[in-house]
Amino acid sequence: MGKLDGLGGDTIFHYFEEICKIPHGSENEMALSDYIVAFAKERGLYCRQDSHYNILIKKAASKGYEDVAPVILQGHIDMVCEKNADTEMDFLTEPIEISVEDDFIHAKGTTLGADNGIAVAYMLALLDDNTLAHPPIETIFTVEEEIGMGGARAFETFDIEGKRFLNMDTEEEGVLLSGCAGGRRVRVYLPAERKDSPAKRGAYQISIRGLKGGHSGADIHLQRASANRLMGRVLYMLKENLDFSLASVDGGNMDNAICREAEATVLFSKENEETVRAFLTQAEKSFLEEYNSREPSITITMESLKEEVFKVLSEDTKNQLISILLLLPYGVQTMSMEMMGLVESSSNIGIVKTNADHIYFDNAVRSSVESRKELICQKIHSVASLCGARVEEVNDYPGWRFNPDSSLLKIFAKTYREMYGKDATISAIHAGLECGLFSEKIPNLDMVSIGPEMYDVHTPDERLSISSAIRVWEYLKEVLKRMDH
């Protein structure tokens, strides 16, 4: 018996639990991809797996739907691998440990992977059930969505026949998405000049923890704090008030997750320890007041290190690092004037990592307006240039332009109204979806994106609503049943 057995929803939770048993972080999708291929072969379904481990599986129409145009369903098989600092977990080899509490499925101290494992579960359940009414189905399982949409970028569409496309990578039930932002990953590399550690200085680790984090697209409007940005502010404050050396700064693991935790290794005279602790206490108090209810659990701690630190950054590198952390664009940059409440452009300092020869800053830039995206990138280039750093831009992907005349959107909206007695919300999202890439590959593609209620994705607090997942499954089945022309 699985932990999710008996929850309802036909077989969706069975397949979701099976997915959780197989490690499938970005760039580690082979095992899950092979599982899906084996699933298709066991059922005699058309299946194509490419060299990137993307998969296409086709299923023939049910009786009476043979002449109906095919529908494409799509989701990604990789997940964001985040964990709490005190959680022991090897995402490369260990399964996600799931549990059920009230209406929610969550993991123990790690991300759950409901983004986008629930879409994979929906597609497997649909392919496995021969009692459902539906047109010909083409299911696309992509890889590396969370690190730049590499799977969708590489996926070939030569054997795709459908023109109606359902993406299932959203996190709000009752919302029909029909547009999304484009994005780009912008990496800054600051050369790390080093020198011998000054004599008679103790080594300490400053840690910022307790932040909520979240998805750098879907949650950026909540204006939560970034631990990387806060660390820059703390280090600047110390620089202005006492003489100290900096050995390293590290924070975050994913460019598309708001950084929850950051650490810095600093050295200063031991007689200044109480002064530094007082500064940190004041900084914590200021941050708690500044972010108020948004971030009620910010903590800043400092621990003395037992091991000796032999090398520190030069004064120039230290100052350049602090300047970059303070000046890199972070958070909401502009709001849409066409759709009330929609973020138009943003940037997220997702990763800061100190390496042997450089300090690395990884930024997720998003905008639904191409020129706004370019402007943010230009700002990052300017900051980097002033600080002697170089910039690399990768994984640019297009937005998905809103189509108010979408016939597919009308089917989904009508079905929702008749099933639930109220109108669905028709909206766009600031987060990036693979829809923009597929719309470029397949001309005249009609697209909608849906999903069940999920909370705090890309964080260890991620959880999936059981009742919502079931309702969306029933909704999906009904929409497919109504695609009879």
What's the rounded Cα separation, in Å, for the pair 198 and 204? 14
CB burial of 146-169 (b: ≥16 within 10 Å; e: otherwise) equals bbbbbbbbbbeeeebebbbbbbbb
Beta bridge partners of 394: 185
Q: Tell me how far CA of residue 126 lies from CA of 139, 317, 412, 477, in angstroms.
A: 10, 55, 18, 8
- The C-alpha atoms of residue 288 and residue 14 are separated, in whole angstroms, by 42
φ, ψ at 153 (rounded to 5°): -65, -40
Three-class SS state of 124 = helix
Count helices and strands (H / E) in the chain: 11, 25
Please give the Cα distance from 114 to 215 (Å, whole number). 13
- The interaxial angle of helices 114-128 and 466-482, nearest 10 deg, is 50
Q: 343: helix, coil or strand?
A: strand
Task: Clarify whether 145 is annotated catalytic.
Answer: yes
Task: Select from 94, 126, 136, 128 the least CA-distant residue to 111.
Answer: 94
352 forms beta bridges with 251, 361
Q: Which of 18, 29, 138, 145 is catalytic?
A: 145
Catalytic choice (17, 18, 29, 78): 78
- From the number of C-beta atoms within 10 Å of its C-beta (0-12, 13-18, 19+), residue 21 rates as middle
For CA atoms 106, 110, 115, 120, the dihedral sign is: negative
Name the residues annotated as catalytic.
78, 145
